[in-house]
Amino acid sequence: MPLHLKTLKTVSNTEQSAEKENKLPLSVNVIPQLGLLHNVYFGRVTIQDFEDQKKQRSKTSAFKMPMPRVNDLSQVTEVDIGFNELLVHAQETGKALSNISEPIQLVMVGDNPFTSTAVAMYENLYAACNIPFEMHVVRGYPEVLATLNLPEDSLQYFPDFCRDESHLL
């Protein structure tokens, strides 16, 4: 799943909404109140975006391993990642996380026609490389909260567009 992360930084919910309007490729937000990393991908995603995201999140002092992650793919319009690129990435990730003893929760939001094949490839390669992720693919944020056992009021820490389904809580 291509994750075009040319400009990556920790941003507030207000800045995330502005980024969506400006079509920046990625928004990264550590939500300390929930103890998780929230990534939102926009437009075309490439393997370089994964690398850029890793570098940027490691620069954020609030990011701690093995922090749960929520990757929102609902805004992705193209995935430009080949099998071999993702395989190399998965192998490198496996080496980097070899000292993690408990699975890292990874919730992928917004499975759509642009991302479904890439998400399946990502999930299978990561499993084959024994990467310690417990991956969940969900349709929306009510399912994110349920998957991570977060209370309903946790939705307030996510950007406004993530609250579209709050009536389902």
65 CB neighbour count, 10 Å cutoff: 10
Q: Inform me whether the pLDDT recorded for 5 exceeds 60.
A: no
| pTM, two decimal places | 0.80
CB 139 within 8 A of CB 145: no
pLDDT digits (tens, 9 = 90+) for 106-135: 999 987 888 888 889 889 998 988 889 999
User: What kind and span of H or E run contains 44?
Assistant: strand 36-46
Of the candidate ranges 14-18, 22-26, 77-81, 161-165, the one whose mean pLDDT is the lowest: 14-18
pLDDT digits (tens, 9 = 90+) for 23-54: 457 888 899 999 999 999 989 999 988 888 88
- Topology of domain 13-157, CATH: Transcription Regulator spoIIAA (3.30.750)
Kindly list the domain boundaries of the chain, sorted by start residue. Answer: 13-157
